[in-house]
Amino acid sequence: MLEDISAFCAIVKFKSFSKAAKELGISKPVMSRRIARLEKKLDTRLLQRTTRSVTLTEEGNLYHKEVSEILLALEASKKNIKSLNKEVSGTLKIGSPVSISNLYITQFINKFMIEYPNLKIQIVNGNHLFDLLDNGFDLVIYCGELPNSSYHYKKLGTWEKIICATPEYLKKHNTPKIPQDLQNHNCLDHYDNANRTWKFLEKGKINELQVEGNILINSSMDLKNLAINHMGIVNLPSFTISDELKNQKLIPVLSKYKLPALGIYAVYPTNKFLSKKTEVFMKFLGGIFSV
């Protein structure tokens, strides 16, 4: 029955009989027979099939949530059995924002690799990387409010958005006293901020203000560099500019209007049967972030 369940989960993942069959190395007719056999054993229809799509029935959705946990547990057990002495090995796949990877992970990971020399690591940088967890990644680092999902998480630390600029820029263009003053400034913004607004907490209420600037770029690290070169005002995560704030290369403004702190999380597919490599890396992350 396990091969029938594996076939079913592969179809859910790829939303296609053909792609699922290719992934498992079997023919499409064999795949169809396995699904038919599984549905017969369960005495219920799991999938709705048309010439164009494959979707889950209500029963299929419930069944998938239950059996996917079983498959994850079996896979974790298989990996653990291969390493009875609990030696940490294999490949750990991580998704991380660029700034977190640059300022934290790659800065300190040398000590981690010395401790676990048989472990290989793959890192993909970017934002909103939850899809990686459905494609074999072990964990994703996420900054902000967690969306509702079936994933599990561990809080690593906190951060907040800070509006700042260089002393030179503020001397030349004046320091904004209230959020509305930003409309007279060059506000350099992240390309992903589609509506071009910045949020502020005013009298207990969150308000949004439209900002304008001459540069949009999809990197917080690049925005920091632009700000350091006196190009304008930026609105960046505190972890991106912590050193620059300490040495006063950047000066925070409008601090009394900033939003409450948000979390930094390690997000992973399941809290059961975590592999040893994921466990030790989570411990490493806990050491480099302060909650």
Residues 274-284: tens digit of each pLDDT = 788 898 998 89
d(Cα 174, Cα 77) in Å, to the nearest integer? Answer: 62
CATH code of 2-81, in short, is 1.10.10.10
What CATH number labels 161-260? 3.40.190.10
Sheet hosting strand 90-96, strand order edge to edge:
119-125, 90-96, 139-143, 262-268, 152-159
User: How many Cβ atoms sit within 10 Å of the Cβ of residue 25?
Assistant: 7
Highest-pLDDT range among 26-30, 150-154, 188-192: 188-192
pLDDT band at 225 (very low <50, low <70, confident <90, very high): very high
Q: Which one has a higher pLDDT value, 81 or 265? A: 265
Q: Average pLDDT in the 266-290 region?
A: 83
- What pLDDT band is residue 28 in, cutting at 50, 70 and 90? confident
Instruction: Return the higher-pLDDT residue of 203 and 255.
Output: 255
Asked if pLDDT for residue 81 goes beyond 80, the answer is no
Give the number of other CB atoms < 10 A from CB of residue 124.
Answer: 13
Measured between alpha carbons, how far is residue 37 from residues 14, 53, 91, 266, 279 in Å? Answer: 20, 20, 35, 39, 38
For 264-289, what is the mean pLDDT?
84
User: pLDDT at position 70, please?
Assistant: 80
**Per-residue pLDDT for 147 more than 90?**
no
Contacts of 245 (CB under 8 A, 6+ apart): 162, 164, 238, 252
- Per-residue pLDDT tens digits for 108-129: 999 899 989 989 999 999 877 8
Alpha helices by DSSP H, the chain:
2-14, 17-24, 28-42, 58-81, 98-100, 106-115, 167-173, 220-228, 242-246, 276-288
pLDDT band of residue 291 (cuts 50, 70, 90) is very low
**Angle of helix 276-288 relative to helix 106-115, nearest 10 degrees?**
130
Is the per-residue pLDDT at 256 higher than 90?
yes
Rg (CA), the chain: 24
pLDDT (0 to 100) of residue 185: 97
The pLDDT value given to residue 165: 98
Q: In the chain, which residues fall in CATH 3.40.190.10?
A: 90-159+263-288, 161-260
Q: Taking CA 243 as the corner, what is the angle to CA 239 and CA 244, rounded to the nearest 5 degrees? A: 105
What mean pLDDT is predicted for residues 208-217? 95
90-159+263-288 has CATH 3.20.20.370 classification: no
Q: Which residues contact 173 (CB under 8 A, 6 or more apart)?
A: 184, 185, 186
Q: Residue 84 — pLDDT band, cuts 50, 70, 90? A: very low
Q: How confident is the model at residue 85 (pLDDT cuts 50, 70, 90)?
A: very low
Chain region(s) in the chain for CATH 1.10.10.10? 2-81
The answer, yes or no, to whether residue 86 has pLDDT greater than 60, is no
pLDDT classification of 160: cutoffs 50, 70, 90: very high
Concatenate the DSSP letters of all residues of 69-105 into one string. HHHHHHHHHHHHHTTTT----EEEEEEE-HHHIIIII
Contact indicator for 20, 11 with CB cutoff of 8 Å: yes
- Show Cβ contacts of residue 247 under 8 Å, excluding neighbours closer than 6 positions: none
**What is the arithmetic mean of pLDDT over 97-101?**
91
Identify the residue whose tokens are 């053909």.
18
DSSP letter for each residue of 198-219: EEEEETTEEEEEE---S-EES-
Mean pLDDT of the chain, nearest integer: 88
The rounded percent of the chain whose pLDDT value lies above 90 is 48
Q: What is the pLDDT of residue 80?
A: 62
Distance CA 158, CA 260 (A): 10
